[in-house]
Amino acid sequence: MARPKNVRYLESHEWGRLESDGTITIGITDFAVDQLNDLTFVDLPEVGDTVTKGEPFGEIESVKAVSDLISPVSGEIVAVHEDVDGDDFSALKTDAFGKGWLIKVKPDNADELNEGTKDLAAYEKQLEEEAH
């Protein structure tokens, strides 16, 4: 799966993409899905909840581990992807950057997305370093 250039990546393997309507779509990378392997549960917040940049907004569980989901921006949640908030993780496994999104946020400040996050080249360099 080719990783998109139009998203910003967190070191913890979440991604955020600024949409044309000003919202930010947030998900986890294909690498994170592969590393977690056998997903069992995703705990996501509710529409109307707020998220804080650098803080957990939920958890994702596999048979191997429980991992916090970290937000790349602060703001109000305007949509939650209900299809992955159950036991069907196929969208995450097949289209992590598209149909596998987790939440959409109306950001307090959209510029936050570029602060402390990585572009595609820097993220792929991180993955190469983690592989060694």
Q: According to the model, what pLDDT value does residue 67 have?
A: 94
Give the CATH number, domain containing residue 41.
Answer: 2.40.50.100
Q: According to the model, what pLDDT value does residue 49 have?
A: 98
Other C-beta atoms within 10 Å of 94: how many?
Answer: 13
Instruction: Tell whether 58 is covered by a domain.
Output: yes
Domain ranges, residue 66 = 8-109+118-125
Instruction: Tell whether 21 is covered by a domain.
Output: yes
Q: According to the model, what pLDDT value does residue 65 have?
A: 86
Whose tokens are 């993955």? That residue is 127
Q: According to the model, what pLDDT value does residue 37 have?
A: 84
Predicted model pTM: 0.95
DSSP string, 87-132: S--HHHHH-TTTTT--EEEEES-GGGGGSS-B-HHHHHHHHHHHH-
Q: What is the pLDDT along the chain (132 residues), one digit of tens a residue?
A: 589 999 999 999 999 999 999 999 999 999 999 998 888 889 999 999 999 999 999 999 998 889 999 999 999 999 999 887 556 788 898 999 999 999 999 999 999 999 999 999 999 999 999 876
Instruction: Tell whether 1 is covered by a domain.
Output: no
Task: Give CA–CA dist 121/132, Å, rounded.
Answer: 17
Instruction: Tell whether 31 is covered by a domain.
Output: yes
Instruction: State the total domains in the chain.
Output: 1
Instruction: Tell whether 91 is covered by a domain.
Output: yes
Return the exposure string of 9-28: e unless at least 16 CB atoms fall within 10 Å of the residue's CB, then b.
bbeebbbbbbeeeebbbbbb
Q: Which residue, 4, 97, 91, is CA-closest to 42?
A: 91
